[in-house]
Amino acid sequence: MLPFSQFDPAGQLRHLITLDGLTSDQIRGLIERAQHFLRAPGVEPARSHELAGITVANLFNEPSTRTRSSFELAARRLGADVLNIEIQLSSRVKGETVLDTIYTLQSMAVDVFVIRDAEPGVGQFVAEHVQDHVSVLSAGEAHLSHPTQGLLDALTILQYKGGFRDLVIAVIGDVRHSRVARSAYQVFSALEVGELRIVAPDALMPEPSEMPGAVRFNSLEAGIAHADVVMTLRVQKERMAEAAIPDPHDYHAAWGLTRARLKLARPEAIVMHPGPVNRDIEIASDVADGPHSVIRQQVTNGVAVRMAVLETVIANRRQRQGLR
């Protein structure tokens, strides 16, 4: 068997499991396409019939609000049929294997599987087994990867900062357990950001071999100094042993992004967070809601990015099938 590739024989994106291996041009192409789907607040959202006749199934085996709703809205706004499978309520709990679930849905003409799973490797495993015309998109894989989040974060930075090369970006908090941070690292490396900092207590730092090129800080004050972009992360309690979970008050005291700490960043710095926000733990409520926060814009951008990814994999499929 050939090694797994997200790309089809023509080198076009078929699956999106990771941002690793995407070129800067491919990333910029997706972000640019996403911008076409953005509308001013109060204006009706962008719609098209690009995905008419296509069926998208959301298979989420971990909680999700933003990612799942935005994949669903993205697919619907492009005219697709959408199925939401609650894994907890599906036959998986009766012992059906992942692949049997996939084959069952494939028999109902599902074209795109959107998969979130706490276990590493599920997305790729499914992608290796589906029919040639079917695509698999990751909506979050364990602590490893969250590619559409990486793209929406890059789009958000582009909107507010106009580029990447001159920026200092500080990713703060539980980097060790964060798929958001890993996809951010991949996207920011491909886009050649000026300086990428990972800022975390020692216990929440990734392994030394991970994220080469990023500058590590184990003090929030030092790591945030003169940053243009401050990205905060939720403490991933679900990926930690009970004993390792930090006390929320202690964590906020040492690692919470407060107004006073934000003053150390550049005056026009933006504050990002993938959500869900744990108010007054990793970020003070008044910072999350404050003038530097672009958290709600990240959510808006999530729909646009997922529309761009869905449209791209289906356009590539039609090209493979000679339909375009």
The residues of the shown chain that bind ligand NCD, judged by CB under 6 A, are: 66-67, 140, 146, 149, 179-180, 234, 274-275
For ligand NCD, give the closer residue by CB, 64 or 104: 64
For ligand NCD, give the closer residue by CB, 80 or 175: 175
Which residues lie across from 293 on neighbouring strands? 271
- CA gap 276, 296 in Å, rounded: 11
- CA gap 145, 205 in Å, rounded: 16
Q: How far is the CB of 135 from ligand NCD (least distance, A)?
A: 20
For ligand NCD, give the closer residue by CB, 130 or 233: 233
Q: How far is the CB of 171 from ligand NCD (least distance, A)?
A: 12
Q: How far is the CB of 67 from ligand NCD (least distance, A)?
A: 4
Q: How far is the CB of 146 from ligand NCD (least distance, A)?
A: 5
For ligand NCD, give the closer residue by CB, 134 or 294: 294
b/e 164-183 (16+ beta carbons within 10 angstroms → b):
beebbbbbbbbbbbbbbbbb
Q: How far is the CB of 180 from ligand NCD (least distance, A)?
A: 5
Q: How far is the CB of 237 from ligand NCD (least distance, A)?
A: 10
Peptide bond between residue 208 and the one before it cis (omega within 30 degrees of 0): no
- CA gap 5, 17 in Å, rounded: 10
For ligand NCD, give the closer residue by CB, 88 or 321: 88
Helices (H), 137-284: 147-161, 179-190, 220-224, 248-255, 259-262
For ligand NCD, give the closer residue by CB, 149 or 301: 149
Shortest Cβ contact with ligand NCD: which residue?
Answer: 234
Write down the residue that tokens 């090209």 correspond to: 319
Burial class of 18 by CB neighbour count within 10 A (0 to 12, 13 to 18, 19+): buried
